[in-house]
Amino acid sequence: MEKGEVIGKGRTAEVIYWGDNRVLKLFYKDFPSSIIDYQYKVDTLIGKIFPNCPKAFKKIEENGRIGILYEYIEGIVLREFMGKKIKSVGKALRMLAELHVEMHKYEIKDINSQKNSFKLAIQQTDLLDDDQKKEIIKYMEKLPDGNTICHGDFHPENIIVSENKLYVMDWSNAYSGNPNGDVARTFYVLKYGLAPSDEYTIKKSFIHRFFFKAIKSLVAKTYIKHYIKLTGISLKEIKIWDLAIFAARLREPVPLEYENLLKMINNSLKHHK
Contact residues for Mg ion, defined by CB under 5 A: 10, 158, 170
Helix (H, G, I), strand (E, B) or coil at 61: strand
CA 174-53-9 angle, to 5 degrees, is 75
122 part of the interface to ligand ADP, by CB under 6 A? no
Buried b (16+ CB within 10 A) or exposed e, 256-273: ebeeebbebbeeebeeee
Smallest gap from Cβ 12 to ligand ADP, in A, equals 4
Reference 156, options 82, 84, 104; nearest CA is 82
- Residue 13 or 264: the one with the smaller Cβ distance to Mg ion is 13
Strand ranges of the sheet holding 13-17, from the earlier edge strand across to the other edge: 6-9, 13-17, 22-27, 65-71, 56-62
Helix (H, G, I), strand (E, B) or coil at 265: helix
Reference 16, options 247, 36, 165, 27; nearest CA is 27
Site string for ligand ADP, 152-181 (x = CB under 6 A): -----xx-x--------xx-----------
Residues 197 and 179: their CA atoms lie apart, in Å, by: 30
Task: Tell me the residue number closest to Mg ion, measured at CB.
Answer: 170
> Which option in ligand ADP, Mg ion, none does residue 187 bind, with CB closer than 5 to 8 A by kind?
none
> Which option in ligand ADP, Mg ion, none does residue 54 bind, with CB closer than 5 to 8 A by kind?
ligand ADP
90 part of the interface to ligand ADP, by CB under 6 A? no
- What pairs with residue 38 in β-bridges? none
- Residue 43 or 146: the one with the smaller Cβ distance to ligand ADP is 43
73 part of the interface to ligand ADP, by CB under 6 A? yes
- Residue 24 or 93: the one with the smaller Cβ distance to ligand ADP is 24
Site for ligand ADP in 2-31 (CB under 6 A): 7-8, 10-13, 15, 23, 25
Stretch that binds ligand ADP, among 64-72, 144-152, 203-211, 240-248 (CB under 6 A): 64-72
Smallest gap from Cβ 261 to ligand ADP, in A, equals 21
> Which option in ligand ADP, Mg ion, none does residue 192 bind, with CB closer than 5 to 8 A by kind?
none
Residues 247 and 127: their CA atoms lie apart, in Å, by: 9
Smallest gap from Cβ 9 to Mg ion, in A, equals 10
